[in-house]
Structure formats: C-alpha cells, structure tokens
Amino acid sequence: MQLLPIALALSAALIHACWSLLSKRLSRYDPTAFVWLASLGSLLAYAPVVLVLTESSAFRPSGTQAVAEMPVHGHR
C-alpha cells in the first residue's frame, strides 16, 4: 500500500476536524464573518496555484471544467 494516499486522506481528515472545531468555537461570535474570512484565506492560498497551472502549457481542461461552466454558458 502506498504512503501518499494514506497521508492525503489523514491530512484531509485533520483539516476537516480543525475546520469543524474552529467553526463551532467561533460561531458564537459571528459565524458569517468566520466563513467569509476562511473563504478569503482559501482563495488567497489557492489562487497562485491555479494561475500557475492555467498558464503552464501542461494544463489541459477536463470534462469537470465543462460541467462547471454549464450554468454560465448554457448546455452545449
């Protein structure tokens, strides 16, 4: 059994548990602000990765992108 899939699954579980704990503890203050700030943090963390991938010549859009664009461009 490979180590990478196990490490990724455990990392995802840990991140989810931390998110749930933070969300529950901070919900008594302002839950909407917490979600907005967490979303902004995610955007800032992932934006450089997305920009590098879309600018690289190795990036090839998949069917997932076509499905994600359906509500914007209509069904083709």
pLDDT at res. 54: 72
The helices-and-strands tally (H runs, E runs) of the chain is 3, 0
What does the angle CA 33 – CA 48 – CA 40 come to, to the nearest 5 degrees?
Answer: 5
Q: What is the pLDDT of residues 11-68, one digit of tens each?
A: 999 988 988 888 888 777 887 888 888 888 888 888 888 777 777 656 566 666 666 6
Cβ atoms of residues 12 and 4 within 8 Å: no
- Give Cα separations from 20 to 17, 28, 45 (angstroms): 5, 13, 19
Task: Please choose, from the candidates 59, 60, 57, 63, the residue with its C-alpha nearest in 3D space to the C-alpha of residue 76.
Answer: 63
